[in-house]
Amino acid sequence: MSSSCFRAFAGSIVIAVFMSMDMHGTAIDEMLARPHVLFRHTAPGANFGKLSVAPLDHLETRLATALSCERLSFARDKGLCLRVERGVFNRYVAVLVDGRLNGGASIKLQGLPSRTRASADGRVAAVTVFVVGDSYAADFSTRTTLVDLASGDEIGELEQFATWRNGARFRAVDFNFWGVTFAADGNTFYASLRTAGTTYLVRGELALRKLTVLRDNVECPSLSPDNRLLAYKRRIGPSPDSWRIHVLDLATDRERMVAAETRYIDDQVEWLDNSHLLYAIPRRTTVISDVWVAPIDGSAPARIFLSEAESPIVIR
């Protein structure tokens, strides 16, 4: 079942130079002043799970922060780090992150962290968690909440928004939302909705608290930096792994498959630029994942972009 936009399989290793923030006090500022990628480090060791940063023009040099994250989002000078604080009873939180990647106040989450995305203006973020205890019969249950990144206050859950399909109000007790991506206007967003065994692409309007169904058999949308294209997974067959990355031109409503990647990718992609996608693939039988890059026009095969990493966020 594809529900969390997680991952699939891969290989290959690239050796990286890792620096410590304690040893290089100004390194974080120097890296953050350049175009860079934030990510979760996945190699076993002291930095496993740490929020890390690498400059886009020298990916072999990495800097690990003190924050451990399951998933992360960031835009402008604000972000979220979703964490699992393990103990007799695990505690799930979202930590507010500032412009120097320092952790601040935390927000209690209602379930296991799955996904988070920040709006381009750094004002709002979406947080999706897996929850238990819902009364309806379903393969899984998610809860997606919009959060004010300045205060940490909850704006609302997507299940509280009004959903419309074919001009009529659309309601069901088994609605599950995830995979939010925000447009540059600060109001429009896209997300996945699953109900009665079918997954839909929906467009949201934050100001109106409204959702509109656009397409079916689509998951985990992600808007390109210029907001012209929407990348997502589309089901192309009946088997559980028959999902492939597609790109939709929002102006023409024309959709095409990304030919450079033929594997099943269970991740919400990130855009490196307006023509290349980033996504994580786990290696077989290990906890290690790698971030791969694929051109949307099929001009080159997919390749590893950043080894021993996942949950990439590109900051320019």
Question: If phi over 0 gives left and psi between -120 and 50 gives alpha, with beta otherwise, what is residue 65?
Answer: beta
Q: Count CB-CB contacts under 10 A for residue 126.
A: 26
Least confident of 2-6, 16-20, 35-39, 132-136: 16-20
Q: DSSP secondary structure string, 222-236? A: EE-TTSSEEEEEEE-
Which tens digits make up the pLDDT trace of 158-188?
999 999 999 999 999 999 999 999 999 999 9
Which tokens go with 59?
Answer: 């990916």
pLDDT at position 26, please?
Answer: 76
Longest dimension (CA), the chain: 60
pLDDT at position 27, please?
Answer: 84
Residues of the chain with pLDDT > 70: what percent? 90
Least confident of 22-36, 91-105, 132-146, 203-217: 132-146
Which tens digits make up the pLDDT trace of 233-252?
999 988 888 899 999 999 99
pLDDT at position 138, please?
Answer: 54
For residues 228 and 303, give the distance between their C-alpha atoms in angstroms, rounded to a whole number: 24
Partnered with residue 94 across adjacent β-strands are 82, 107
Distances (CA, A) of 33 to 38, 55, 201: 13, 9, 36
pLDDT at position 22, please?
Answer: 44
Of the pLDDT bands very low, low, confident and very high (cuts 50, 70, 90), residue 5 is low
Which tens digits make up the pLDDT trace of 56-103?
999 999 999 999 999 999 999 999 999 999 989 999 999 999 999 999
Q: What does residue 191 show for φ and ψ, rounded to 5 degrees?
A: -160, 170
Which tokens go with 165?
Answer: 């399909």
Count of H helices and E strands in the chain? 1, 27
Residues of the chain with pLDDT > 90: what percent? 84
Q: Are residues 296 and 281 in contact, defined by beta-carbon separation less than 8 angstroms?
A: no
Least confident of 18-32, 76-90, 209-223, 302-316: 18-32
Strands 162-165 and 210-216 come out as: parallel
pLDDT at position 15, please?
Answer: 36
Q: Is residue 6 over pLDDT 90?
A: no
Spatial CA neighbour of 6 closest among 283, 279, 292: 279
Which residue's entry shows tokens 């100001």? 207
What average pLDDT does the chain have?
Answer: 90
Which residue's entry shows tokens 């209602």? 110
Which residue's entry shows tokens 């792994």? 241
- Enter the CATH code of domain 17-315: 2.120.10.30
Q: Where are the domains of the chain?
A: 17-315
Least confident of 1-10, 23-32, 288-297, 306-315: 1-10
Q: Is residue 2 over pLDDT 50?
A: no
Of the pLDDT bands very low, low, confident and very high (cuts 50, 70, 90), residue 133 is low
Q: Count CB-CB contacts under 10 A for residue 285.
A: 7
Which tens digits make up the pLDDT trace of 105-116?
999 999 999 999
Of the pLDDT bands very low, low, confident and very high (cuts 50, 70, 90), residue 18 is very low
